[in-house]
Amino acid sequence: MRLVLACVGRLKAGAERDLVTRYVDRIRPAGRPLGLGPCDMIEIPESAARRAEDRMAEEGAALLAALPAGAGLIALDPRGRQLSSEDFAARMAAQRDGGLSALAFVIGGADGLCDAVRDKAALMVAYGTATFPHQLVRVMLAEQIYRAVTILSGHPYHRA
């Protein structure tokens, strides 16, 4: 199952991009025997619309259009569920075992995700009630996907 990180905005060169790249690169060899990966990153430009609702709608439409056909969708949203790393891994495995060819993880822009994206999500995940910069959320998500792969493979990276 192909994994996709679909995000609004571009990560500029720097520590955050380096960390995301490091985890995405680790997912490929670790996930291959499990039928997970590769992990691709899709970056959607931020909308220039004046109203927040219009920005969210434009960005949401662009995100949905960029996803592989038939992909499952997990959205990062403050209204989502907080999952343990083990639960996150189990949900990824269930999507894979359900026959999906791709699983997309979606991070919205500064205004959040529109209803159209949230409605299509099989799951909404939150990293607590605090607000984090989108760049850090991308790092945290890439790390959690890598951690999920290591949990599923029995690798000692995750020490439960």
Residue identified by tokens 């993880």 is 105
126: left (phi over 0), alpha (psi -120 to 50) or beta: beta
Tokens representing residue 6 in the block: 């679909």
Binding-site residues, in ranges, read 76, 108
Cβ atoms of 7 and 105 within 8 Å: the answer is no
Please state the φ and ψ torsions of residue 56, each to the nearest 5 degrees: -60, -40
Binding-site residues for S-adenosyl-L-methionine, in ranges, read 76, 108
- Those residues with Cβ within 8 angstroms of residue 95's Cβ, 6 or more apart along the chain or in another chain: 1, 72, 103, 122
- Those residues with Cβ within 8 angstroms of residue 110's Cβ, 6 or more apart along the chain or in another chain: 46, 134
Closest of 117, 4, 145, 146 to residue 68, by C-alpha: 4
